[in-house]
Amino acid sequence: MGGAMAMTLVALAYPGMLGLSKVSTAQDRVIANTQWGPLTEQDRDFVVKVRAAGLWEYPVGQIGLQKGTTPAVITASKHLVDGHAALDTTCRKIAPLLNITLPDLPSPQQQGFVSQLKADSGKKFDSDFANILRMTHGSIFNTISKIRSTTKNSLVRALADQANDTVLDHMTVMEKTGLVDFDQTIFQQTTPPKLPDSDLTPPPPAAGQPEVVLTPPPNATSTPVDINGLTGNSNGGTGASPGASPSPTVG
């Protein structure tokens, strides 16, 4: 009985057990009732998606700072590092409050993007960088809009507000490189390949390993959500106050 209950809680907390990309009528199913509003499957999956996006786009931004051959690509790289560090801070603050387990690695597909850009050089890097990042940001932009307009959870709503501003900024700086092939990127954005869930879902974090932290750059301009202002918590928003833990529900 104890083992079955543990597996149920893990499945609720981590969408990898269900498949992040799965289209399901259960996406609006409430999996936890919290003091910040009900948490649905799609709310939880959104927090994980934002975290996973940062886990590959932040290092790609660092790669771009080294490999980019134009000022516009360098600028776009700085925006990636800055924006995703701030989003990551917000994710790591709200996740424990909502009992959401965050990944420490991106999905296999996202890891493939990093490998491709690591192998590129020169103008090929600049072009692939701008088009891959414009395509992926364009893909999640619609998801952000849906979450922002439907979630009843104030912490998820605040993350969606921040993600909307960040993703719009990143789409814009990619376009300003002058390298985006809009026909190609919009086609890929709207007709993604039919990959198995295992390629699209970040793996669960390894037990006992420290949480990966995306460190803000010294000259950071993006700021995380003020969790204290939303929770009234004086401990920095890294943990729930007594009695504040969400209550997972099954059914």
Q: Tell me the C-alpha to C-alpha distance, in Å, between residue 141 and each of 89, 120, 134, 248.
A: 20, 26, 10, 28
Q: What is the pTM of this model?
A: 0.82
Per-residue confidence (pLDDT) for residue 232, from 0 to 100: 64
Per-residue confidence (pLDDT) for residue 26, from 0 to 100: 66
Per-residue confidence (pLDDT) for residue 192, from 0 to 100: 77
CB burial of 15-42 (b: ≥16 within 10 Å; e: otherwise) equals: bbebebbeeeeebeebbbebebbbbbbb
CA distance 100 to 159: 14
Per-residue confidence (pLDDT) for residue 233, from 0 to 100: 58
Write the pLDDT tens digit of every residue in 36-61: 999 999 999 999 999 999 999 999 99
| Segments in the chain below pLDDT 70 | 1-26, 231-251
